[in-house]
Amino acid sequence: MPAAGEHSLKGIGIVEPMTAEGRQKLESLCRWRNFTRDEQIIDRDSDTGDVFFVVRGQVRVVNYSYTGREVSYDDLGAGSVFGELSAIDSAPRSANVVALKPTTVAALSPEQFRQALSDNPGFALGVMTRLVEIIRGSTDRIMDLSTLGAYTRVYAEILRLARKNAGDGESAVISPVPVHSDVASRAGTTRETVARALSDLSRKGIAKREGETLVVGDISQLEEIVEG
């Protein structure tokens, strides 16, 4: 079981607009669970509708093609939420979710989740904002897959990671170094193509590996390549 101090939803982004009393009520309704690394949290074929708040750890939202190729949608860390789509529309799960490291989640039933949406307008707005982010991210990826070549899709994925880790706005340190297979599953290509694309960025002086990090020295130049 999680430690007593982990029975809290503080730090969960979509819960922050709730009053302390509302959050505590939500906490009392949750079921707290631990998952080990590589343990499956949601099976796409299951008929469950629970919503999960990531209290600690990290999870990956992923699917598999008919040929068995992994297609990764997103990695979610502490403070994130997943499973809300099925809780809202009662449709089957749209993806699998697997723990990337030891992870603690708070699970809320779909009925209690919908009631919380009705009782807390700020919470409902937070959920809507999260869904908008999903839609926008999906739209960007559809555009990439439809209009960009394999190398450029890899560059676009590195650019997304760089923007998340930007320091002064012109450079970024991505830590740890992106795993080639992870980038490949996001960019819809192969690990070999990712390796060649990263070598190309290194030759151009745009990105280079330093120990366990990938340093993107010129985000603007990387943007020009992707957007051009």
Do 42 and 111 lie in a common domain? Answer: yes
Q: Are 103 and 184 in the same domain?
A: no
- Beta strand pairing call for 40-42 and 58-64: unpaired
Same domain, 88 and 200: no
- What's the CATH number where 221 sits? 1.10.10.10
Q: What is the pLDDT of residue 6?
A: 60
Domain boundary pick from 118, 145, 172:
145
- Residue 171's pLDDT band, with cuts at 50, 70 and 90, is confident
Say yes or no: 25 and 82 in one domain: yes
pTM equals 0.74
Specify whether 30 is located in the same domain as 141.
Answer: yes
Among 101, 130, 145, which residue terminates a domain? 145
Are β-strands 51-56 and 103-108 bridged in parallel, bridged antiparallel, or unpaired? antiparallel
Percent of the chain's residues with pLDDT above 70:
96
Average pLDDT over every residue of 162-182: 83
Q: 172 and 107 in one domain? A: no
Domain count, the chain: 2
Report pLDDT digits (tens) over 20-33.
Answer: 898 999 999 999 99
Are residues 78 and 106 both part of a single domain?
Answer: yes
CATH of the domain at 26: 2.60.120.10
**Residues 18 and 102 placed together within one structural domain of the fold:** yes
Domain span holding position 193: 149-227
Please count the residues of the chain: 228
Residues 79 and 187 in one domain: no
Same domain as 160, residue 126: no
pLDDT at residue number 99: 95
- At 155 the pLDDT is 92
**pLDDT > 90 fraction of the chain, expressed in percent and rounded:** 52
Over residues 195-217, the mean pLDDT reads 91
Map tokens 């739209």 to a residue. 139
Q: Pick from 145, 176, 197: which residue ends a domain?
A: 145
Q: Is the same domain home to 118 and 16?
A: yes
Do 125 and 179 reside in the same domain of the chain? Answer: no
